[in-house]
Structure formats: C-alpha cells, structure tokens
Structure 1
Amino acid sequence: MDKLSVKLDVFEGPLDLLLHLIKTLEIDIYDIPIAEITTQYMDYIKMMKHLQLEVAGDYLVMAATLMSIKSKLLLPKVELLVDDSGQYEDEEQDPRAALVEQLLEYRKFKYAATVLHEKEEQRGQYFTKDPADLSEYTANLPPLEPHQVSTIDLFLAFHDVLERQKTYRTQETTISNDYETIEDKISYISKLVKYVDSGQGVPFSDLFTTYTKSEIVTTFMALLELIKSRQVIAEQENNYAPILLFKQSVKIEDNE
C-alpha cells in the first residue's frame, strides 16, 4: 500500500491524527489493524523530524502506546480455561479497547466542536445592536421598597401562572360575547385588595378565572395601571414565593 501523504498543520493532537488515518484508510474503528495504523503513524512522526519540526510529547506518548498494543497482539494468546459453570476464567481484554474508547470520546467532542463552530459562523452574519442608554428614563424613578417586585417580575409571574394552569383551566364549550374592559378589571382588582384582611394580601393567581387570552391581557394591563397610580403594590417575600397584592394605604400604615 502506498504511504499516506498528510498535511502537518491540520491535526490538533495524536487522536486527531489517528481519526484521520482511520477515515482515510477506511478502517473499522472497532477493529483497528494496529500494525497498519502504527506504520502510518510512525511515518508521520518521521516526516515531522525530517522537516525539523518539533514533535510534541503527546505524539510520542501515542507512538509508544501503539507500539505497546502492537507487541501485546503479537504475543501468543493465553489458552482460556472453562470452569464448571461454563464461564471463561481470566479472559484477556483486547489491548485495543482503551484506545478505541478514547477515539470514540474524542470523535464525539470533535463533532460537537464542529457544530458549535458552524453556529458561531451563522451567528456572525447577524448585526448586534449596542445596548441603549436608558439612564434618562430611570433617573427619576423611586427605588423599590423591600420585597416589592418590578414589572419584569410581574411579567414572569404571569408567564409562570399560565404555564402551570394550562392543564387545569376549564374548557369553554359555548361561545360567549362577554368582554371585560381594563376599567372593569381595575374595579375588580381594587375590590379584591380593599376587602382582604389587613396585612394578608391577595394572591396573584386569584386574579384569573377563565385564563382566556382576553382576560390575560386585560388583567395584566389593569394591574400595571393600578401599580402606576400607586393604588396597589405587589410584593414577594423571597425568590419563588407567591406574589401578593396589597392596597397601597394599608401597607404604608403597617410600615409606619
């Protein structure tokens, strides 16, 4: 067989070289002919030395490993003994097994790296806008009180409630023309927080009844209006705790 001609600058290590040889010679990775691979590998090492290139230690270690495996395969096979139950005793492991396992693991990560590189090139075709300076819009905003949630927290809470309630909501079987406006929802939420016991608050999940798209949007807009007008505040004791709604005046009296 003609000796393999390789490019010296394409390999990232001995495993990369071995995978290239296996692919080029059309060898079964699970049944590697060690003698042939070792010959091709050593030719590569000699080529590097002939060109006065520095041979990395990893390549020399792999060369020693291949020679060791080759020598083990040349040794006479030990006769296997069979015990009374018909099982083999002291069965020798294939000397190539550890190398095959390394090659398979390396091939897996090499493929993953190739996919990530392709995604990087695809993402490089997009233009990313620099973050805008919003300081002039936030300079005059009052700081949040302890445990008070932001608009983003409310949005995430809405999303979480919808995801958890999808399988529990009542399926509508009749067509209804009922439609609640934002003003209707403002009045509904105001009554809820008005008549709740002092200091307890209304659970955020109690704002919904049918979980329709119309109710979701209307409720969210109504709640934002109430918070903006400082009629209602939303608080969360800690992360993942339920969000509670309070009448603004009640909480102010409690904090004084």
Structure 2
Amino acid sequence: MTADDSKNDLQAVENLQSAYEQIRTEVSKVIIGQDKVIEQLLISLFSSGHCLLVGVPGLAKTLLISTLAQVLNLDFNRIQFTPDLMPSDITGTEIIEEDHTTGKRGFRFVKGPIFANIVLADEINRTPPKTQAALLQAMQEHEVTAAGDTFTLDEPFFVLATQNPIEQEGTYPLPEAQLDRFMFNIMVDYPSASEEHEIVKSTTAVSDVKIKKILSSDEIIEFQKLIRRVPVSDHLIEYAVNIVRATRPKEENAFDFIKNWVNWGAGPRASQYLIL
C-alpha cells in the first residue's frame, strides 16, 4: 500500500464516521430511543451482514428499517411471511406475455420482492421451511435461481428478519443453517418511560418530518470495502478463532458447561463476524 492509498483510506474512515453520525441524527427524527439496535444494524450493514430482530409487536421495527432505507437512499421491500407463502412469491415467477405486434407468446420473468437493497422478512418464522430456504441462497451468495436462470442481486444487499417471541403457535423455528447466516440476533426491548412519553407525544400530534438522504448505494459499497481493508494482526485473528472454538463441546479446551449443555458450537462464520 502506498502513502497515497493510506491517506485516502484515512480520509475514507473520517467520511464513514461523519456519515455514521449523520445517519444516527436523521433516524432519530423518526425513531425515539433504540440506540443500541440502530448501532448494531449499521455495523451489520457496513460489514455486509444480515440481522434477525426479535421483539414483540408495536416496537417500530418495520418503521425503523424503512426509515433506515430512506436515509441510505436504498430500495426497500417488505415480505410478510405467512403459512401459505410460496418460494416464488419471494424470488419471482414467469408469466406468459403476448407480443401485440407479432401475436407471439413467450415467458417473461417478473422479479420478486427479494430484488431490493434492503429486504424486511417480517415474522420469518411464520412460513414453512421450504419458503424460508428461498432466502438462503440470496443471503449467502447474493444470487437468486428462478425459472432455470440465476439472477444477481443489486449491491448492497441487506436482509432484516423479524420474529415475535411471545407467539409460538403456528410458527416454524428457523433451522440452524439459516440462523448461522445472520450476523446479529438483536433483541428489541420496550422503550424507557421517558422514551415512551416522547413516542406518544410525537405520534399523536401533527408531524411533518423531513428525512435527509445521507449516502448512496455506491458510497455504501465503498465503505464496505474499506472495512475489509482494515489491517488485522494474526494474534487478533487467533484470539477470535480460539473464542469460537471454545464454544464447541468436542474441543479439548472447551469448558465443562459447554460440554454438558451445548450440542453444537459456533461455526467459522462466527470467527469471520468477530473480525469484521
């Protein structure tokens, strides 16, 4: 790396810090409180990860995500997961289309809601595993296979899934393979008394909040590349790997409570996420 490259990266780090503060300011115009949740969402986004949000209804999870997409100037789609949702409802489907000039008919692929920069998978555990699996390829490979063809998703691509912890009837627990693809499992808690007072005050009066767009998709992609250029020593990587390996009950250095109470430890993705 040349001196100019280092100088450019230092300037990019300052730009990222400035953009981060501006994003927090704009989101706070709509969302009151939930500072830790917003921080973890932004960490995951800039680290090219995905998030699972767990919280009871009415905590503004959907509003938070749509506001974040608006501030970041990204395409946003919401998928309401239901027991009758099909994989094609997520990825897209082929329709028959007629050319009025020639009279010929052909198939045309209509993209599903997965084709967006930020995708909200609302109540993801309410749909069968077959449909949940439609997200797996998209989350890992940023590609969708449908109608015999593979389509590349636009970058940046960020999946935010939500779960309701108080209702288990009629739900399908997420398999470990899918849980492993989320960088964070974020618990969204009730607001404090003062925050709830402000929420009620602001949402029961006339409001005309103007949201300023802070970043573009290209700028976000550059920040994601910048984070991966941050130098990490071998000692730090070894430390992260040792932490993750200590969660596996078959490891010699695993603690007794791990061997007694844990069936399967964290996988290599956990080490990657710790470094990012």
- TM superposition score normalised by structure 1: 0.21
Q: Which has the higher helix share?
A: 1
- TM superposition score normalised by structure 2: 0.20
Q: Which has the higher strand share?
A: 2
Tell which has more relative contact order, 1 or 2 (C-alpha 8 A, sep 6+): 2
Q: Which structure has the larger Rg over C-alpha atoms?
A: 1
